[in-house]
Amino acid sequence: TQKLAGLGALETKLAALPVETWSRAGQVDYLAVKSILNGYRFNLEVLRPWKRDPGFYLDPLMAVAFTEVTGSEEDIAKLRARLRQVPPLLASAQGNLTEVAGDFADLALHNLENSDGVNHYHPYRPVPPAGIIGWYDDLLARSTAARPDLVADVVAARDAVVGFRDWLRAGRAQMTAPGGVGAERYDWYIRHVRMIPLTAAEMLTLAEREHERMTAALALLRHRNRGEPALTLSQSAAEQAGKVAATDKAVRRFLTEQDIVTIPDFVGELGSNTPYIERPGGPNFWEQIQFRDPIPDHLHAVIPGHRFDAVLAARDTRPIRSSYSDGGRAEGWATYLEEALMLAGATSDRPRSDVFMQLFGIFRAARVPADIAMQQNRWTVAEAVNSMRARTPWLDEDVARVDAEIYLRRPPGYGIAYTIGKLQMDALLADRASQLGEAFSLREFHDAFLAAGRLPIALVRYEMTGAGEEVALFWKTPPVPSAR
């Protein structure tokens, strides 16, 4: 109640500002702040993960278990303090979690006892520990060997985690709240927080068309490339590192020589997004592609995608834009780069890789109905996993489940961000190329887009083109719809 009252006071102050007299850039900043406040309200009124999601309490505990026990005494003291916070945190969680969603409970129970199979933000182990409990067992073994003085605190933390699992198991039958936010609230969030000028129904239609288009393109490219040598999986970390290094060199050369985007001198090495891992069951979806040719994810996640984008954003000193990072903008830009740079010639010397670009895009499009149906409480996580796998070649259950968990447990609209953001990028490129005609420069377009900051793409479009029909939808914010 206190937070909602404070938020209301901020909303009143924002509404009183004479924004209609401001510059276009100032109006964009205003709408960006408005979207942040709308997001806070939605979190307080609807999402309330501290009441609904056991993973809200478990997620931070993973980083504790990952901690090395060979650091300085100061590092060990910090680890000890964090370990001692685990039992009281999980005790309070049991009192707070009064409206637990069934899917959230099932995901938490799975993650407590099972590796996610993807190494999603996890340190690499040839044989991954069995979930959160397994990681605390791993921490206990490392502490026993290197820091016996930590053992009692590790045991107490591990026992608290096991006790939390037992509490979830015992109460699971009563944990029946819906995981999604519902159809009306989903559309409200997409428009007034994500600031995407589309409804769920419109996004479903667009994504279905993208899935059809890219599946057709996949068939055509496979036919075109039927005589090309097959690309084989890397057989060692050294082989994969060589592929990544060669890809990075080729991509940077292409971006520069073909006038695609400016690479400032301060942009150094950016690494790789997919480490070489040998799995007993073979590579997962991402690895099936990356270990054959790293270029699809290198464009998306390294340069000129996420890591390059982050390096530029870190040097932004503007008070609002330096603090704002919209998922639709980040994923829309990165997904746009896959097919756009393929069409611009990035894979002209490696035609087999064009198939992989389409596979990525097909998976992105298959996420849209999964995201929407889970948030509208029409599909369970299992149904979303089955749908994505049925519609995406090579997609394994672990990758699909991790994705479904992200799109249900994060604030709504992250799963749609890739394909819908990519389509917004396509539209912006078309707008700007039509506006400028022969004066259009792809490098200048990309540089200007990146310089605008990581704001919702509709706001960037308004700033770059002056077209105001999309942002006209964002100026007035109705109340968050009530639960149905």
pLDDT at 172 exceeding the cut of 90: yes
For residue range 186-241, list pLDDT tens digits in order.
999 999 999 999 999 999 999 999 999 999 999 999 999 999 999 999 999 999 99
Return the structure tokens found at 476: 């007035």
For residue range 266-321, list pLDDT tens digits in order.
999 999 988 898 888 899 999 999 999 999 999 999 999 999 999 999 999 999 99
Mean pLDDT in residue range 243-265: 97
Return the pLDDT at 127.
82
Return the pLDDT at 119.
80
For residue range 96-148, list pLDDT tens digits in order.
999 999 999 999 999 999 998 888 778 888 788 999 999 999 999 999 999 99
Return the structure tokens found at 314: 């870190």
For residue range 12-56, list pLDDT tens digits in order.
999 999 999 999 999 999 999 999 999 999 999 999 999 999 999
Return the pLDDT at 397.
96
For residue range 417-464, list pLDDT tens digits in order.
999 999 999 999 999 999 999 999 999 999 999 999 999 999 999 999
Return the pLDDT at 122.
83
Share of the chain above pLDDT 90, in %: 94
How far is residue 153's CA from residue 65's CA, in Å, rounded to a whole number?
A: 12
pLDDT at 371 exceeding the cut of 80: yes
How far CA 482 is from CA of 49, 90, 181, 185, 326, in Å, comes to 17, 30, 10, 8, 25
Return the pLDDT at 333.
98
